[in-house]
Amino acid sequence: MVKQAKNELDALISLIDEPDREMYLTIREKISGYGKEAIPRLEEAWLHSENPESAERLEHIIDEIRFNDLYHELKSWADFQNNDLLKAFLLISKFRFPDLDEDKYISEFERLKQDVWLEINDNLTALEKIKVINHVLFEIHQFKGQSPKQKSSLNTYFLNELLDSKTGNALTLGMLYMTIAQQLRIPIFGIDLPDHFILAYMDDSMPAKEIEDFMEDEVLFYLNALNKGAVFTQNEIELYLKQMKLEINEAYFRPCSNKSIIRRLITEIADTYILENMPEKADTLNLLLSLLD
């Protein structure tokens, strides 16, 4: 930020305790217009603020700038980069952890992927490749799923906490599993089941196609990342749907898009915020859903 802009920003921040509501909103809008470059100055002002109302205003502006930045990054992903699930996973994680060190967690992901790559080769069958991935993730690195009896807590939904704690839920473990597989050209995709998220290993002898164009007869078998990558068949899905008293829907047997997965991630996090008595966080997060239509 050039010196003149910095001086102008500092002057605006010095007016943060403006008592007139309309004047304050004008000041807030001008500060927000500086974008994320304004955050260090706002944080410094917050640290030295002795007025609780001013501190709260500074927090709101920081949150607004961060959310606007996240909104535009997710829009860009949805429009141009939606084949990169890891990117969106990181973006949503920054909603709760805005200072998240992206390079650190991308490096951790790459180490996991490399550990799988070192043990895998093209001569292995589909089931043998699954055994390798399961061995690396669930035995060597000891990733585990939160008990199905437990309601998913917030700390199972964000990539950084998943990689730090090695504990996830059906959705986040599934996202990690399929992203590693896809980057190694192993055709594993997500399936958006009601109250569950599973994976499908697709027939890779078929020509390459868009995720949404896969049909259920191209599925070799299904996987449950929550249960250490256990393999199962269509019969188990039908039984699950019967137990849930749900009608058969072909969408429950074939892959969904990455946008659908991120939409589900946002929805589940928002629902958890509501359960943890943070409805304002849920409302803000739900504003992102319109980007994924």
Q: Model confidence over 142-180: pLDDT tens digits?
A: 999 986 556 678 989 999 999 999 999 999 999 999 999
Asked whether the beta carbons of 168 and 146 are under 8 A apart, the reply is yes
Query: What is d(CA 276, CA 8) in angstroms, rounded to the nearest whole number?
Result: 40
- Model confidence at 6, pLDDT cuts 50, 70, 90, reads confident
Q: Which pLDDT belongs to residue 241?
A: 94
Q: Look at residue 217 in the predicted model and tell me its pLDDT.
A: 84
Task: Report the chain's mean pLDDT, rounded to a whole number.
Answer: 93
Provide the pairing of β-strand 144-145 with 167-168: parallel
The ranges assigned to domains in the chain are 3-81, 85-292
Token pair listed for 181: 């597989």
- Residues linked to residue 105 through DSSP beta bridges, in sequence order: none
Using pLDDT thresholds of 50, 70 and 90, give the confidence band for residue 70. Answer: very high
Residue 277 region, left (φ>0) first, then alpha (ψ -120 to 50), else beta?
A: left
Distance of CA 162 to the CA centre of its chain: 11
pTM for the model stands at 0.91
Largest CA distance in the chain: 71
pLDDT value at position 207? 63
Residue 206 pLDDT: 64
Q: Is 86 within 8 Å of 160 (Cβ atoms)?
A: no
* 5 or 80, greater pLDDT: 80
**pLDDT value at residue 209:** 67
The reported pLDDT for the residue numbered 211 is 75
